[in-house]
Chain A
Amino acid sequence: MLSFNSSNIISKTKTISRRMFLITSFKTVVLLGIVGRLASLQISESSKYRSLADKNRFRESKIAPPRGIIEDYFGNEIASNTKIYQLHINPETTPDIDLLLFRIKNILNLSNKKIILLKKKIAKKKSWDTTIVSDNLTWSEFSRINLFLHELEGAHPIVSVARFYKDNSSAHAIGYVSEISKNDLKNKKYLKDLNIEGVEIGKTGLESSLDEQMLGSPGYLRYEVNAYGKKIKQVATSLGLKGKTFRTTLDQNIQNISTEALEGVSGAVCVMDIYNGDVISMVSSPNFNPNSFVHGVNKDEWRGLTEDINKPMLNKAVSGLYPPGSTIKTLTALSALENDIFNPQQLIACKGYIDLHGERFHCWKKKGHGVLNMRSAIKRSCDIYFYEVARKLGIDRLSKTAKKFGLGQKVLTNYNEEKAGTVPNTKWKLNQIGKNWYIGETLHSGIGQGYFLSTPIQLCLMVAQIANGGFKIKPRMLVDENNKINNLQKYLDYKKKNPDSPNSIEQQIFEFGLKPLFRNQENVNFVKDAMFAASNEAGGTSYRSRHKEKNFMFAGKTGSSQIKKFTAAQREAEVKQADINYLERDHAWFVAFAPVQDPKYAISVLVEHGGSGSSAAAPLAKKIIKKVIERHELRTAQTNQQLGKNI
């Protein structure tokens, strides 16, 4: 057996070796063939190919694609493209680059510094690459260049397109574009094929988050050139693909009104549809001119923007973090009711302060509110009442409710710069600060001070979800291409048609696939009613800013978030907010929903260092709410038209 095996192996090995020898010989022949081919191409015919490469080569230049448009809900262009005039130079096609730059410098009155920068830029590139000398020429400069074009060999006046923003009202919501930086190239892989002179990319807001889709794909121009780089004939062209156009849920009119309302103060406004979560307005103040960034912002303007104490570059609506102040009382009350901690009829006497565990807690009203129940405590925003509610409720239950209503997490998906804020609880404190929770902190949290931090958009969502009866909604900034009536809207229409439906609320919730945030809807209705009282009954905190016409009536809650604790001396002297240092004044809040009879919209207004919510924030909200409700029918018509298209 063994002998058979070894003889078998020997015979196999013989065959294999013999045949491998043949293959090796064959390989040698092929190798010689390739070497021969290389020799013929690179040695004997080299001069032919070299001249082909030099004298008659093809050039390809990439064309920047037009950026996608951003529209408001009604199709008005918020961010569009406009025609611009540019001057490009192509070093390869000019006999003397220094002379060319010298002439251009005289025609356009460029500074010596700019010319040195340009020379550096050109030196870094290949000789056939285009360099942009000036990317936004005025018409007169452009015509002067064209006049002297015969002596500017290698210069190419180009008509191109660039981003244009109609006004500053959406500067934060939409964001701005600017040229590609080194960091962008490193971090954003989609820019790989788009690193073309003249391409601008989104830096903040929607421009940044939708950048990839709005950029489009670049076109190219392929042409034949002669030895001097002069174009002989066009070979192939592709215009590229324009970027995608996006329709947002914003309303340009409301954006303008909100901007107007915030004129002269630092703050933010958010308006939201309480049923489908459409963000109708999002404005942060002070704003900036986004057009300044398109062609490179100048140093002085940039310094002005970054050094301003009111931080114009910050989108306060999504990235500004402030304690929610008394606006949180809506949730403190709701949480207490939902957990059966508190009876709303329970009376508590407010004498302006309360002593607990050896610490004195003050009400904002020095004289005190007297004896109140929960409804009037919300209406008049009594702190003492809510200290007691919070004490019984405990921070962990409050934090659970607050999180359920959207605090402490990002609301939108469209903002890279959005902040999540903080909803404190015992575990959070232990993890983040490493200390145990104190009961005093619970009391502060119950009135929205202390560790609580929220953004205007979060509080807007909170009110929206209270106003719609306590159902979860998903806020959005972009109109879905297949815009559908959402379940909450369907449920509402059904309820309107069948007011005495025999089905229980649980059945209806199930049937329409709703996501309730409550255990008992009566509790949500109680909070809504108390907010109504705060705005529309005498003694309510925002009574002075109410709308008297039934259509425009709103229900709201004021708030002010403390920056610095009052000293005992200040409290005694009854120091007014207006008398203290601007940066130490309280932030003013107002959150509301409207109209009260049939709620449709929620609003949140923040005025930084504005003092009290009732005097600084509520009047602004009043103005905006009126406009929003006036435009409701137009918006509905637009929605129906859109739905009609999709059915």
Chain B
Amino acid sequence: MLYSRNSFHTPFTLRDKFFDLDFTLLLSILLLGIISMFAQYSSSGGQFDYHSKSHAIRFFVFFFFFLAISFVNIRFWNDYSLLIFISLILLLVAVKFFGVQSQGSRRWINLFVFNLQPSELMKIGIILFLSNYYHKISSSDVNKFKYLLYPLIALLIPFMLVLSQPDLGTAILILISGVVITWLSGVRWRIFAYLSGLFIVLAPIAISFLKPYQKNRILTFLNPDSDPLGAGYQIIQSKIAVGSGGLFGKGFLNGSQSYLNFLPEKHTDFIFTLYSEEFGFIGSIFMVLLYFLITFRITQIGNVTRSIFGKLYCYGFATAFFVYVAVNMSMVLGLLPIVGAPLPILSYGGSSMLAMMFGLGIVMSCNVYKTNTVS
């Protein structure tokens, strides 16, 4: 048996709950948060300005939020996942009409205290919703047409809403998370093959709807040297920054490439570039492994949790989390086009941080209530 206590044990006191937390995961997150503060401090030019300060405050606030969620019974998240999903859809629709516009896209909604980016929360919302859906239906129904249509529609609505903001990066990440859960639940290979075929046929049409700057980014990715001072500038500069970091890096606060303002979004999407320049290969590998450890622990929690909902959620979130990291890193290392995907926790951005901590909190709740079968 995996458990030292009997399998019907459910934690009652806060003390019990506290000792049921996964401390490896908890400490990894804390470590990542602390590294992120140093990285943000460096991206602000070595001073505590508005960015670095609010990043630090957000991390601590959301860390307590994460702990609070960990102690909420997993059944609660199962029961309310549909409601959460629908509210997020409504928020995305609200963004369409009342959203705050910035740099040509409408992604934020003004909640007076701060601007919220609902698409970031949708990354978690879709995982919650689909985990709950496949938890409910019988395994013999998974491949029936009727039961396939429902998740497909539920996936396409947020995808299209986010795509039209426009925010290609987040839309793709939402799509990937959805596909992963459906696939984990046992939907046949064949169905994915059909849909991919359809996608390839439709892709040229979809590309014609892309904004010129998005098209430009894809073209630039395919050949960055064609326009070294225009759109390819960021990729080249990012590569130079990472490459010049070498084995040991240039040292904290000494990244010349980053300080010279070559990276226009160095505190958000390009934070890894800055980190990598200053801490070199050793530091980068450490960071990659830290992220992998977090993914690994989440998968482990998925292994021990008893409910289908919890398993699907943990596996789905672990994969999604890994995809965010992989997409962001590949992007700044010149392996993927620049699509605008933040690095979890390390990047500056309140909504993204909130979504990640919320997602991790539910994972922790799966661990605390691992014996709970939900239904």
Chain A residues engaging chain B, CB cutoff 8 angstroms? 5, 8-9, 11-13, 15-17, 19-20, 23-24, 27, 30-31, 33-35, 37-39, 41-43, 45-46, 48-50, 52-54, 57-60, 126, 128, 189, 192, 235-236
Contacts and interface: CB of A to CB of B under 8 A. Distances in A.
B269 to A, nearest CB: 16
B184 A33 contact: no
Contacts of B257: 53, 57
B256 A38 contact: no
A16 B262 CA distance: 45
Contact of B315 (A12, A20, A59): A20
Given A8-B138, A42-B276, A50 B244 contact: yes
A16 B308 contact: yes
A92 to B, nearest CB: 11
7 contacts: A20-B302, A27-B292, A41-B242, A43-B247, A49-B240, A57-B240, A58-B237
A15 B285 contact: no
Given A42-B280, A46-B246, A49-B242, A31 B288 contact: yes
Nearest to B140: A8
A46 B239 CA distance: 10
Contacts of A48: 243
Given A8-B139, A53-B256, A57-B260, A46 B244 contact: yes
Interface residues of B, number: 52
Contacts of A37: 330, 333, 335
A15 B185 contact: yes
B259 interface: yes
Given A35-B288, A49-B243, A16 B259 contact: no
Interface in B276-299: 276, 280-281, 284-285, 288, 292, 295, 299
A5 B135 CA distance: 12
B326 interface: yes
A48 B312 CA distance: 45
| Residue from the set A33, A37, A42, A43 with the largest chain B CB neighbour count within 10 Å | A42
A24 B246 contact: no
A16 B185 contact: yes
Nearest to B238: A41
Contact of B243 (A19, A41, A192): A41
A52 B243 contact: yes
Interface of B: 49-50, 134, 138-140, 180, 183-186, 229, 237, 239-247, 256-257, 259-262, 276, 280-281, 284-285, 288, 292, 295, 299, 302-303, 308, 311-312, 315, 319, 322, 326, 329-330, 333, 335, 373, 375
A55 to B, nearest CB: 11
Contact of A58 (B239, B247, B262): B262
A46 B240 CA distance: 9
Nearest to A224: B229
A235 B237 CA distance: 14
A8 B375 CA distance: 13
Contact of A42 (B180, B245, B302): B245
Contacts of B281: 38-39, 42-43
B49 to A, nearest CB: 7
- Pairs A-B, 4 closest by C-beta atoms: A49-B243, A53-B244, A42-B281, A15-B186
